[in-house]
Amino acid sequence: MATKKSKKSDDAPDSERPVKKSSDKKKTSDSKKSTGDKPTKAAGGGGKSGQPKTPIVDDGPEEELRLGPLGNKVMTIAGGIGVVGTGAAVGLGAMEGQWAHFFHSYLVAFFWVLTIGLGALWFVTLQHLTRSEWSPVVRRIAEVLGANIPLLAVMALVVVGPLLMGNHDLYKWADPAEVKHSLLLQKKSPYLNTTFFAARFVFYFGVWFIFSRLFLKRSVEQDSTGKPELTNNLWAVSAPGMILFALTVTFCSIDFVMSLAPEWFSTMFGVYVFAGCVVSFYSTMGLIVLWLQKNGRLSKSITVHHRHDIGKMMFAFVVFWAYIAFSQFMLIWYADIPEETVWFKPRLGEWLPVSAALLFLHFVVPFLGLLSKHVKRHRFGLGFWAVWLLVIHYVDLYWLIMPNFSPGKVPFSLMDICAWVGLAGLFLASSARTAMNLNLRPTRDPRLDKSLAFENI
């Protein structure tokens, strides 16, 4: 990607051309028409119903920066759907007496929302680490999504809590009888035990909370103070943050997902899950950008060029996911070691149709669909493929987790849908609640001017 300021792209409509900033910038009536009311110029601090405490000078174009009543609406609807969906999943598990099925379904849904939140945290860390100039106008969206770590920690208690109370429906390494009859599990018991598992869980979410909170807090503070040194401070912590992120995501993937088959191992598993984190995050951010602009928010800041870049990252990590998936499979197939091939046995047996669907629907089809720049620049095209990738990401996680519960058949049921919709609704409601009291983009970032003027060649 490249940035140029002298020539405007012919692909961008006039309303989406980058806004050039000047010191004596005039306020126009266009932004009022696009939002239906007076644009909000707001500090980054809190305020009831998404209203700013004190107006400040915004270094960007005049436009609506707050969710306002729209945030309350989203929080209410999504929260209601989340509570009903999650409750229905629990009720179905109780009525059918299928708690093992419920815990596996819940783990799939939980990891789906967790990967979106972790992908957002990775994005924010990367933008500070690389001092990116294209992304400040979309970075606040990622900061808000990454701020859901406390909610995700609470969601994880549904998995961790029963494990600590002696339930081993998910993890057979927690069953003393299983460990007794497996020499390999006995050798792994110093790592795979409930006490150490709980300690690692606290460490993972503690690290993610600290960094997500720091990035959002300093970014919002800069909206109020305009201090450029805050950007330098975040750049300084992003390098150790990225290292800790890589380690925690890898080991969290091992603990929560790979240890469902405790006698199996793959050194590429953490990278495979990371690829899913990034694909799901960029897809989610693309949908949020489209929704915000449809509702009159950030209608001038985020242009077709930013949406094009989001689409390019979706495309790039679809390819990266395929590369990691093939590499993991090829190495295990070539080595033909029983301890490794056992994991693929059900996935190449009764689950073969799902495996084949992932090959085509997670790689071949979206690869061809996102190949053209015109698709990535088109609102409907970007939105369609974002939804596609979020759905197939769920299928991918289902393929990772559910064969450990039902190797002989695909047990997809209403319970799976309820858990998925329920946790997704709670995640969305929490995001809307966080965003209500914030500007939807940074207003005093030192690189905001370059982000607003960003153009793709």
Render pLDDT for 390-418 as a digit per residue (tens, 0 to 9): 999 999 999 999 999 999 999 999 999 99
Which distant-in-sequence residues (6+ apart) come within 8 Å of 206 by Cβ? Answer: none
Q: Could you give the CA distance from residue 397 to residue 180 in angstroms, rounded to a whole number? A: 30
Q: Could you give the CA distance from residue 119 to residue 142 in angstroms, rounded to a whole number? A: 8
pLDDT given for residue 59 in this prediction: 67
Nearest to 170 by CA among 110, 253, 103: 103
Residue 338 — very low, low, confident or very high, per pLDDT cuts 50/70/90? confident
Residue 270: give the domain boundaries.
62-449
Q: How many domains does the chain have?
A: 1
49: left (phi over 0), alpha (psi -120 to 50) or beta: left
Q: Is residue 37 part of a domain?
A: no
Q: Is residue 27 part of a domain?
A: no
Render pLDDT for 239-288 as a digit per residue (tens, 0 to 9): 999 999 999 999 999 999 999 999 999 999 999 999 999 999 999 999 99
Are 66 and 79 in contact, with CB atoms under 8 Å apart?
no
Q: Is residue 274 part of a domain?
A: yes
Average pLDDT, the chain: 89
- Can you give the length of the chain in residues? 457
Q: Could you give the CA distance from residue 60 to residue 440 in angstroms, rounded to a whole number? A: 12
Render pLDDT for 205-235 as a digit per residue (tens, 0 to 9): 999 999 999 999 999 999 999 999 999 999 9
The residue ranges of DSSP E strands in 33-116, in sequence order, are none
As a whole-number percent, the residues of the chain with pLDDT over 90 amount to: 82
Q: What value does the mean pLDDT take over residues 122-134? A: 96
Q: Is residue 19 part of a domain?
A: no
Residue 11 — very low, low, confident or very high, per pLDDT cuts 50/70/90? very low
pLDDT given for residue 63 in this prediction: 86
Q: Is residue 33 part of a domain?
A: no
Q: Is residue 142 part of a domain?
A: yes
Q: What value does the mean pLDDT take over residues 324-349? A: 93
Q: Is residue 228 part of a domain?
A: yes
Q: What value does the mean pLDDT take over residues 63-84? A: 95
- 55 pLDDT exceeds 60? no
Q: Is residue 102 part of a domain?
A: yes
| 280: Cα within 13 Å, side-chain hemisphere | 28
Render pLDDT for 14-39 as a digit per residue (tens, 0 to 9): 334 444 433 333 333 343 333 334 44
